[in-house]
Amino acid sequence: MTGSFPTIRPRRLRGSGPLRRLVAQTRLHPADLVLPVFVREGIDAPVPVSAMPGVVQHTIESLVAEAHRCVEVGVGGIMLFGVPLAKDPEGSGADDPGGILNVATRAVVDAVGDRLVVMTDLCLDEFTSHGHCGVLDAAGRVDNDATLERYAAMGLAQARAGAHVLGLSGMMDGQVGHVRAALDAEGFTEVVILAYTAKYTSGLYGPFREAVASSLVGDRATYQQDPPNAGEALRELAQDLAEGADIVMVKPAGPHLDIVAAVAAESPVPVAAYQISGEYSQIIAAADRGWIDRDRVMLESLIGIRRAGAQIILTYFALDAAALL
């Protein structure tokens, strides 16, 4: 054959919606999504979160109804955060069998069984009067090793309540190994650990802090990762894997898609990413002002996270996105 090759025209594969769907390299499915939810002690009706339009603090009853909705639309999982009435320096409500998170976990697991993956947030920040993710020493600093003991107790309480997956979000050194050892020693060898491997300190957590009625003054920069740094995320990944993490996660997702991709390239276990409260609220706020198309940007943001390598996406859009997929 003589002559030059014909001009390559990638546009040929973009000519129609069905053709674009046929050749799409990245697909988003409801089963990829996990809905984070808040359950609050002492209320008799859901309470809207003003900084997160469309999100509420649930009662036990409305939480169970939300879990049923997740099952109906095929969402993969639900992540539970507790909002207690009382707090103390040790976060004692976190491992109290009668504490709001453990009571809610039992209620959701009893309601949906194995039709939905029930995840629980394993961190003390919602339960401590000072708002930090661990217990403090005499100088007011977070005591890493003392906190690990509290995490082990909290993990056992959540496992006894029936949680399928424990989300270790506190960013304490050694947290995965310590909790894994405690679970295995008590026979909870099948409970999955989701390690928050790269959880960056961020200005986008603000709406979440309203949702959990956070008591925090200051920040968590001494134990969450610093946004300019990428290499330490891979060191954290290596440590979490060595300690027995079953799933690893990057948070926030949108500002750190490079980290999602780097972790996905190295990880032999599934990778999750959390589209956090501020990411959600920015889209809602811009859409409410007519500046962007809410549904289009919502799906585009989720596809971007999926394309970066996350197999699992925690997002407050989970139900809305699932309805469109």
DSSP 8-state code for residue 178: H
Residues known to be catalytic: 199, 251
Collapsing DSSP states into helix, strand and coil, what is residue 226? coil
d(CA 296, CA 282): 14
Q: Rounded to 5 degrees, what angle do the CA atoms 251, 35, 284 make? A: 75
Collapsing DSSP states into helix, strand and coil, what is residue 268? coil
Residues 6+ apart with CB under 8 A from 189: 183
d(CA 156, CA 294): 40
Phi, psi of 313 (to 5 degrees): -125, 120
Paired tokens of 262: 């780097």
Among 289, 314, 288, CA closest to 302: 314
Q: How many CB atoms lie within 10 A of CB 90?
A: 18
Contact 188, 242 (CB under 8 A): no
d(CA 135, CA 127): 11
d(CA 147, CA 258): 30
d(CA 81, CA 274): 14
Residues 6+ apart with CB under 8 A from 218: none
Interhelix angle 231-243/257-266, rounded to 10 degrees, is 40
